[in-house]
Each structure stands twice: as C-alpha cells, then as structure tokens.
A and B are shown apart, each in its own frame.
Chain A
Amino acid sequence: MSQQVLDQIVKRFSDSVLSTHAHRGDETVVLHRNALVAVVQFLRDDPQMAFNFCVDITAVDLSAMPDYVGPRFEVVYHFHSLSHKHRIRLKVPLEEADLELDSLSHLYGGANWFEREVWDMFGVRFRNSPDHRRILLYEEFVGHPLRKDYPQRGYQPLIDMPTLPRPDEELPPLASEDL
C-alpha cells in the first residue's frame, strides 16, 4: 500500500475524507458515500494512481464492536494498481436507516458480483447496479446472515426439514431461531 496515494486523496477530496489511518501498513481512507464514485474514478483514471484492479468489496457490521459509536455498517473496498504496485483501502460508513451506495459496476466489471454478495450478506443496496439479485443464497431467504443480529445458527431451509412431529404437536416454525 502507499502513503503517497493516501496523501493525494486527502489533498483532492479533503471535504469528503472523514479520516485516514495506516494500520500495519494498510493505508485506509474513510470516505463520505457521496464522494465514492468520484474518488474511485480518479483512482482508476489518473496516471499517477492507475488503480486498474478492484480486488475486493465487502462490508462489516460494527454493531457488536465494543466501545464503538458511529454508523452501523462500513463497506470496504480494496484497490490495487498492477502498474504502480500500490494498494489502497477505502471505507464508506453507512447508517442502518439508509443503506444505499452507488455501484461501481460501470468502472470495474468484477464489482457487480462483489456488490451482489454485499447485498446478500449485509443488505446494502447499490444504486444503478445492472444486476441486484442475491448471489450465494436463494431469493426466498429472509434477512442478511452476516449481520451481527442474525443468529449464529439460524436455520432457514428452502425445503422443510424432515422432522416428523408427534400427533399432538404442531410443526416447528421455519423462521430462524438461535438454537
């Protein structure tokens, strides 16, 4: 990763940068969500930056983080430049009430599937996404399992579990339960 990239972003987008840090050599920029597309466009197209490679898009639910006050979700982007060999991490905090973010699918072909996974696992909506279905789970699935309030062992089978109820017992509910 590169300190120089971080400085450039702070210089150009000082209004939108919420904070920066470089823990264990991973330079990170925390951004306001409205600036995301502009920053990524700059990172991709500027010859000094040339981040032509979108490594990963994921999210973190911070609601169970001890001593943490702030927006519940963070969408995390990792970019890499094959020519300059530097990397950067962008983070976009999102409030639970308004989980929407601009899609990067028009900039990177691979972004769409990563965004679909973030939607699937965390329920973050991506505006202008060409394809916004779930990807790893099935469409009938209720909830977003990587959120911290989703139970660790929540069962949600697509087909009823083959449990035979006793005659005097009702069928167990299909909704997820912490067992």
Chain B
Amino acid sequence: MSNALLLNDKSRGSKPGYAPSVDESDLHTEHMVLNMGPSHPATHGTTKFILKLEGETVADVDIHIGYLHRGFEKMCESGTWAQVLPYTDRLNYSSPLCNNVGYVLAVEKLLGIEVPDRAKYIRALVCEMSRITDHFTAIGAGALELGGYTPFLYGVQAREMFYELVEELTGARLTTAFTRIGGVKHDLTSDFWEHVDAVLPEVERLMIDVDKLLTNNRIFYDRMVDVGTISQDDAISYGFTGICLRSTGVGYDVRKDYPYLIYDRLDFDVPVGHRGDNYDRYLCRVEEIRQSIRMMKQIREQMEPGPIAVDDWGVVLPPKDAVYNSIEAMIAHFKLIMEGVKVPRGEVYSYTEAGNGELGFYLVSDGSGRPYRLRIRPPCFALMSGLKKMIVGKLLADIVPTYDTINMIGGENDR
C-alpha cells in the first residue's frame, strides 16, 4: 500500500541515517480503494462505504444505502390507513412505538380529530419507553464497537427490562402496533406501574455502571472526543435533527419547540452538546434517558382515568359487545375493516421527535379509505447524507464509532 502522506513529506530526507537516492515526491502514488460493507460485522445495518484511503486516512467516501429498501411507501398505498400501522413498526425498529405514535398523529391531523387525554398520556409514555430502548441500544453498541463488551451487556440488560414493559403493554417487543387512529389499542395493565417501580431502580443502577465504565474511561474518551465532528452550520444545512443536531449546540427538540400530545405539561430539559462529536452525542443520549425516566414519573402522577379512544365509530372500531348485539355497530365495524377510515381529501405534514430526530409523515389523501401518497421523512436519511462530512479526513477506524453514534437504522433509512 502506498502512503502519499509520508512519501510527500520532504523533511524525512534530512533525518540522519535516512538518505534516499531518489526524490520520493516524484514517486507514483495512488489512493487505495477499500470496499466496506454492505454486510460488515462492524456496521449495524447494511450500508456500503466505498473508501478512498491515504494510508489510514479517509480521503473520500461514497456511501451507498438502500440495501433494506422494501418499497415501504408503495406498500402503504395498497392498504387502508389502519393497515399501514404495522408497517411503521418496521421503520426504526429500535423505537417502534415512536413511529406508531408519529403515524397516527399524522392521520389524526388530516382527520382533524383530537384524542382523549388519557390516550395522549399513554402515547407519550410509550414514546418515552421506546426512546430509552433506542438510546440504550445506541450507547451499548457504541461501546461494543470500541471493544467494550461489558457496557454493551449492561445496556442491553437495561433495554431488556423496558422491552418487557413494552411487551406487557403491547404483547410484542418490537412489532408493537400499539396505537390506533383515534386512540390506543388498550389501557395500561392493572399492575403496570408496579412493574415500572421494580424496573426503574435497576435501570438507574445499570446506568451508573455504564457511566462508570465509559464516561471517564481513557480509551473510550480518546476514541470519541473530536471524532466524527460536524459543525453547527453543516448540521443544519444537512438537515440533522435529534441527538446529532443537539450535540452541536442547537437545542431543537420537537417535543419542546412544537409540543404535541402532552409534552407541554411535562417538565423536562433538552440536553445539548457543544463540540458536535461522538462524545457529545454519547453524553446527550445518557442525559436523554434520564429525562425520559423523569417524564415517565410525571406522566404517572398526571394521568387520570378516562377513555382511551375517541367515541366515533367512523374512526375507531366499536366495542365487540356492540358489534355482536347491534346492527349499527356491526355495519360500522364492517365498513371500517373493509373500506378503512374515510380520511378527507387533503395533505398534511406531521412531525414528532423519534429516537433519531424529527420523524415526519407527509400524507396525501384522495378521500377514499386508502392513503394516496404516504411519505416518511426519516431522520436517519439526513444524517446519512451528512456522514461523509463527519468521516472524511479522519481515520478509517473512526468510521465505526461515528456510524454508530448517528445510529443509522436500516428500516427507517431505506424504508
């Protein structure tokens, strides 16, 4: 492998004991092209990096995505509005509930309906639980990339506890499909909060362990600080949102700036970094987990009993008892299942804060029961387009932690 940086360094010729017989700067050098991926053990998700290397420094990179493209937006056009919901689980599968909530909020915006308070609280609660699992995945995997297997296990253990809570609520760990247009699938289980009480101290203990292992760890620190740096202007220009934007010092969080559900009633802080590097993204994630736990506690105090879905059989399925015993409910049930929710003609863009940033849904309805066009604005997609800025000029080995801290999720990025 030729090394252009060293060969062009003329000062080497003057060092004692090193007298080259030819002028090395005239030697033919070329970049080494290295193909990394699409299936590489260190990249979680299928992305291909075609790297041009100067020694170990990345001179240029061409990022290829799309290996997990399933024609999501095309598929959505063939089903009813409600049938799209299970697909949204498969967007960001680290935090499926955030996608569920984002999607139904978009449809409700187009319908012009508002769900009851309790449904809003339940949605916010599941969003925060999902955000925690998302961040634990990213933190744990980030440590794993750098050879830290123990923090990964602690992170996964904490994540698992939240997955169990999610499973208790929704019946599934990842493929949740919990929300409904007009409400949520069902209420919290009777002993849900007891289980939360049992889990939270354990999670806090694990977080302290992870913190002790990583935050002041010399190796971790050196590999993360000033690696994968992006300036504030670049981050904005590339459309970064979420943790990656906040790590550069911009305090933009949809939950704070455009409160949806009940986030305006919760007291929480938005952590921001200042360097825009991997370490700041790590710290922001840790702090967001703390804030999410804080929000869960507030939600518990504020939540009051009440209906969990709107009382409109044109939107929400009637109760089973009514379906079996009255013709009106039977007809409503049949029409909802066969024709779908009649969403009025129009278009909306609705956005929520998902695990990776602003998850947007742009919906176009032609007035029938099926989406005419359903566009997902994935936060990862913008992050991946800016990834080049973050890795060019840095070392090859730094791609791996940088790629992890932007937390690219194939399902969301490639759709």
Binding site for B on A (CB under 8 A): 23-24, 26, 28, 52-56, 58, 60-61, 64-66, 76, 78, 82, 85, 87, 89, 108-110, 112-114, 117, 121, 134-138, 145-146, 150, 152
Contacts and interface: CB of A to CB of B under 8 A. Distances in A.
B373 A24 contact: no
Contact of B74 (A24, A109, A152): A152
Nearest to A107: B237
Interface residues of B, number: 45
A23 B69 contact: no
Given A66-B366, A109-B386, A53 B239 contact: yes
Interface of B: 65-66, 69, 71, 73-74, 77-78, 109-110, 112, 234, 236-240, 250, 252, 257-258, 346-349, 351, 358, 360, 362, 364, 366-368, 372-373, 375, 377, 381-382, 384-386, 389, 414-415
B59 to A, nearest CB: 17
A60 B382 contact: no
A28 B377 CA distance: 18
Contacts, number: 100
20 contacts: A24-B112, A24-B348, A53-B236, A53-B239, A55-B239, A55-B358, A60-B373, A78-B377, A85-B258, A109-B234, A109-B237, A110-B386, A112-B385, A113-B384, A113-B385, A117-B381, A136-B65, A136-B69, A146-B373, A152-B77
B279 to A, nearest CB: 23
Contacts of A61: 373
Contacts of B73: 121, 146
B370 to A, nearest CB: 11
A28 B77 CA distance: 23
Given A26-B347, A56-B377, A82-B250, A109 B71 contact: no
Nearest to B382: A110
B74 A146 contact: yes
B237 A108 contact: yes
A60 B345 CA distance: 14
Given A85-B258, A109-B234, A109-B238, 13 more contacts: A23-B346, A60-B372, A108-B237, A108-B239, A110-B238, A110-B386, A113-B381, A113-B382, A114-B381, A136-B66, A137-B69, A138-B66, A146-B373
Given A54-B239, A56-B360, A146-B73, A65 B366 contact: yes
A78 B375 CA distance: 12
Contacts of A136: 65-66, 69, 414-415
Contacts of B236: 52-53, 82
B382 A78 contact: no
Nearest to B64: A135
Contacts of A54: 239
